[in-house]
Chains A and B, each alone.
Chain A
Amino acid sequence: MNSAVLANIVRFIGLLLLQVLIIKQIELGPIGGSIIQLFVYPLFLLLIPLRTSRELQLLIGFVVGISIDLFYNSAGLHASACVFLAYVRPYVLRIVEPRAGYDKTKGLTPERINWGWFVRYASLGTLVHSLWFHLVDAFTFAAFGAILLKTVLSVAFSLLFMFILVLVFNPKD
């Protein structure tokens, strides 16, 4: 097993535990509870190495989502959003592609590319994930305003947590 796989497994477990042990408690609100759903685990999907095949990315997305669902009592909901993010990730990457292009052997991190790029990439990725999540949760296009509001709030606060994590751990790959 090479080190990239190992690093990703550790990252997956770390983010899963962070999400279900700590972030979930924050959602329930020491500050009184809110409509905000916080996501840190999409960071794992965003950082999957470029050379991973698309099929494997989708399967990983499904596994990540189902694992989160087990703790949130929300069969399929997180899985659906994760699979969607895994599917559109290549398109997101193309939209934010830097002029020099990507180096397939290097990680999709601010350390390897740059912070401006990473902020755009993570924002777009989290937005896609969060919008899909809230659409499936509501299971209707009615009250689209409320869905949009929840999405925007979720994305803003989730990104805050993700950027702090990336700043602290500063992963290379």
Chain B
Amino acid sequence: MTALLRLLSRLGPLFLFLLLESISLYLVVTYNSEQGRLYLSSTNRFTSFVNRQVSGVTGYANLRDENQELVEEIIDLRERLGNAYYDNTASIDTALADSSALPLYTYIDARVINNSISRKNNFLTLNKGSKHGLRPHMGVISNDGVVGIVRQVSPHYAMVMSVLHSKTRITAEIRDKGYFGALVWKEQDPRFMYLEDVPKHHFIELGDTVQTSRFSHIFPEGIALGEIADFSVPEGGSNFNIRVRLNTEMGRLRQVLVVNNLMSEEIEQLEEGVLNE
């Protein structure tokens, strides 16, 4: 150690500073850039142990809130059950009933063990990985909306690109109106995203619900993401500038669902085939 320090002191603090700073910046560029590899440190044994403990404690501290959310979810699901509707039909055509419906989406539950919201590109770590059927490009949702897209998986963990990421583009539409656009995160505020590419001749209102689009094969159609908080037309622009208040509190995520599209491979192959023609 003394020999090392003596060597370093001969080279001088400036040299050492440049060396250490280069190492740091190399790590930043390699692991943190949007295209670069992701840094899965939250999955190494020690930090994942600490993260799990923290997640355990905060999970306990949030039991009351979580319970409330579950109750609301149960109520919501019960309301969607057949027996919650007044049956107004005179006769049901059994030939068309359900037998033709194939399951398209399945869900895998996971827990958030690491999260960030205040950086320019944010990621989450989940406690489920390839062993549980997670694969890159799967969508991640919570009770209140969309959380992100799986980027990398290890056997027991997954790294999710949060919607709070400068490269996020989620196809979204305005409920009941069908106008669609791309949802992006521009401001550094974790409460808001922007819906882009909606032409200004459409009619939209404050409070309109923004939901996942039918054109996405990552997320099921119709998941409410947020509400229009305000909108304007930039001077000379042909599209609205729509600010969307997210339903999800990204910082408070605990339990999430990973969306598995059973037909994603088929769609991808089909689309690739057309593109390669």
Interface residues of chain A, those whose CB is within 8 Å of chain B, are 20-21, 25, 27-30, 32-37, 53-56, 58-59, 61-62, 65, 69-77, 79-80, 83-84, 86-87, 136-139, 146, 150
Contact = CB atoms under 8 A, between A and B. Distances in A.
B13 A55 contact: yes
Contact of A136 (B23, B28, B251): B28
Contact of A55 (B5, B30, B119): B5
Nearest to B46: A70
B33 A34 contact: no
A172 to B, nearest CB: 26
Interface stretch (B109-117, B136-144, B196-204, B213-221): B109-117
Interface majority SS (helix, strand, loop, mixed), chain A: helix
A138 B33 CA distance: 10
B47 interface: yes
A35 B117 CA distance: 7
Interface of B (DSSP majority class):
helix
Contacts of B50: 20-21, 71
Given A29-B252, A33-B252, A71-B50, A76 B189 contact: no
25 contacts: A21-B54, A27-B251, A28-B251, A29-B251, A33-B117, A33-B118, A33-B191, A33-B249, A34-B190, A36-B118, A53-B9, A54-B16, A55-B8, A56-B5, A58-B16, A58-B17, A70-B41, A73-B40, A73-B41, A74-B39, A77-B24, A77-B32, A79-B20, A86-B17, A87-B17
Contacts of B8: 55, 59
Interface in B49-72: 50-51, 54, 58
A77 B251 contact: no
B171 interface: no
Contacts of B190: 33-35
A138 to B, nearest CB: 5
B54 A87 contact: no
Interface residues of B, number: 48
B22 to A, nearest CB: 10
A22 B182 CA distance: 35
B31 interface: yes
A79 B118 contact: no
Contacts of B118: 27, 33-37, 150
A114 B114 CA distance: 39
B108 interface: no
A65 to B, nearest CB: 7
A25 B17 contact: no
A58 B118 CA distance: 27
Contacts of B17: 58, 83, 86-87
A33 B190 CA distance: 7
A25 B188 contact: no
A76 B188 contact: no
A6 B144 CA distance: 48
A137 B121 CA distance: 8
Nearest to A54: B13
A70 B117 CA distance: 17
Nearest to A132: B21
Contacts of A56: 5
Which interface residue of A32, A73, A136, A138 has the most chain B CB atoms within 10 A?
A: A73
